[in-house]
Amino acid sequence: QQQVKQSPQSLIVQKGGISIINCAYENTAFDYFPWYQQFPGKGPALLIAIRPDVSEKKEGRFTISFNKSAKQFSLHIMDSQPGDSATYFCAASKRNTGKLIFGQGTTLQVKP
Amino acid sequence: EAGVVQSPRYKIIEKKQPVAFWCNPISGHNTLYWYLQNLGQGPELLIRYENEEAVDDSQLPKDRFSAERLKGVDSTLKIQPAELGDSAVYLCASSLESGFEYEQYFGPGTRLTVT
């Protein structure tokens, strides 16, 4: 019940295209859903996050869509750029625990 | 502002040897986390500190792993003795306080190879 399942494992997108990464969770007590971006040799960095009281959050080219009834959320990267090539992790957390449960990660390659 | 500092960045040891990792969090951050990241996987929390107190160490294998955060600032994670399966990246993170509204900032990690 603590798992967060992420797909796809890897993704190749052309420059300018839309990258979509999906995550599903089981624990209905989760109430915070961040996405992290990780470059090789670096630690994960927070990209964007959403709470379940909204269905969508947009920051620049990055959008989280959240479906509470389906217990799913996704990251959309619009106008994908080669600099977006990295590994992306979704995560979930319960209020005030500070404990992030991460998905398995998606390696994104954006081709020029 | 300096980020989370970890050292060493890389460590190669033989199995059964001890090893220690050091973390200096962002100044003023009360909460410190140690995560384990296996190759191709997401990070997994090992232990969380609020100031000097370990408030969540349920995932820390206490038979061989230990951690301390003296004076509520720097922290050290130790493995003794190391096993082949401990090869991974050990990430340290810090946040101003506990709770989802406080962003966790990660360090670059220490890559451990046990031979």
Beta carbons of A45 and B98 less than 8 Å apart: no
Overall average pLDDT of the A42-61 stretch: 93
C-alpha gyration radius of chain A:
13
> How many CB pairs below 8 Å do chains A and B form together?
62
Query: Which chain B residue has its CA at the smallest distance from A31's CA?
Result: B100
Tokens of A35: 């996405």
A93 burial (CB, 10 Å; 0-12 / 13-18 / 19+) is: buried
Pick from A11-15, A45-49, A50-54, A107-111: least confident: A50-54
Q: Report the relative pairing of strands B44-50 and B105-106 from DSSP bridges.
A: unpaired
Mean residue pLDDT across chain B: 94
Tokens of B25: 């969090």
The pLDDT of residue B100 is above 70: no
A96 in reach of chain B (CB within 8 A): yes
Mean residue pLDDT across chain A: 94
pLDDT on residue B72: 85
Q: Which residue in the set A31, A43, A51 is minimally distant from B108, CB to CB?
A: A43
Enumerate residues 6+ apart whose C-beta is below 8 A from B4: A43, B23, B24, B25, B26, B92, B93, B94, B105, B106, B107
Alpha carbons A8 and B51: distance in angstroms, whole number: 38
What is the share, in percent, of chain B residues with pLDDT greater than 90?
A: 86
Residue with token string 């994908």: A80
Query: Which chain B residue has its CA at the smallest distance from A51's CA?
Result: B100
**N residues, chain B:** 115
B40 in reach of chain A (CB within 8 A): yes
A112 in reach of chain B (CB within 8 A): no
Tokens of A100: 């992030």
Beta carbons of A100 and B43 less than 8 Å apart: yes
Q: Is the CB of residue A24 less than 8 Å from the CB of residue A5?
A: yes
What is the share, in percent, of chain B residues with pLDDT greater than 70?
A: 97
pLDDT on residue B1: 65
pLDDT on residue A98: 76
What residues of chain B, 46 to 105, have a C-beta less than 8 Å from chain A? 48, 56, 91, 93, 95, 98-100, 102-105
Residue A64: how many CA atoms within 13 Å on its side-chain side?
A: 28
Give tens-digit pLDDT for B16-53.
999 999 999 999 999 999 999 999 999 999 999 999 99
Enumerate residues 6+ apart whose C-beta is below 8 A from B63: none
pLDDT on residue B69: 96
Enumerate residues 6+ apart whose C-beta is below 8 A from B61: none
**Residues of chain B found within 8 Å of residue A32, distances taken between Cβ atoms:** 100
Alpha carbons A36 and A53: distance in angstroms, whole number: 20
Alpha carbons A65 and A41: distance in angstroms, whole number: 29
The pLDDT of residue A1 is above 60: no
